[in-house]
Amino acid sequence: MQLLLSEFRKLAAAQTTTQEKLDEQTALLERRFTDADEALDKRFQEAESSVEQRIIDSELRQDVCLVAIEKTAEDLQTWRREHEASSTTSAFGWASLTSIGIGR
């Protein structure tokens, strides 16, 4: 009977030690999982921020290009108006000169 009690105590002590080790391993795995999860979240956030920044940069470049195109179109319109005005003036001037007998 004493031998049986002694064996039960040994088994209980071994079970307690095994449970403590199991608890330690479970806690370690939970910490590692949490760390890995946080690292992945951080990477995803960084990637998302990077993509958002690239989109913003692309939109800004497109805006700059659009402004340049609009400015070029405006300059062309101004040049066309000036050219048409000077052509009209030249034609009118030439017609006036030919009407008085110059340039025939």
pLDDT in tens, 63-73: 999 999 999 99
Output the tens digit of pLDDT for each of the chain's 104 residues: 888 889 999 999 999 999 999 999 999 999 999 999 999 999 999 999 999 999 999 999 999 999 999 999 999 999 999 888 776 655 555 555 555 555 54
Distance CA 48, CA 36 (A): 18
Question: Which residues neighbour 97 within 8 Å (Cβ) at sequence distance 6 or greater?
Answer: 103
> Left if phi > 0, otherwise alpha if psi is -120 to 50, otherwise beta: which for 51?
alpha
Largest CA distance in the chain: 147
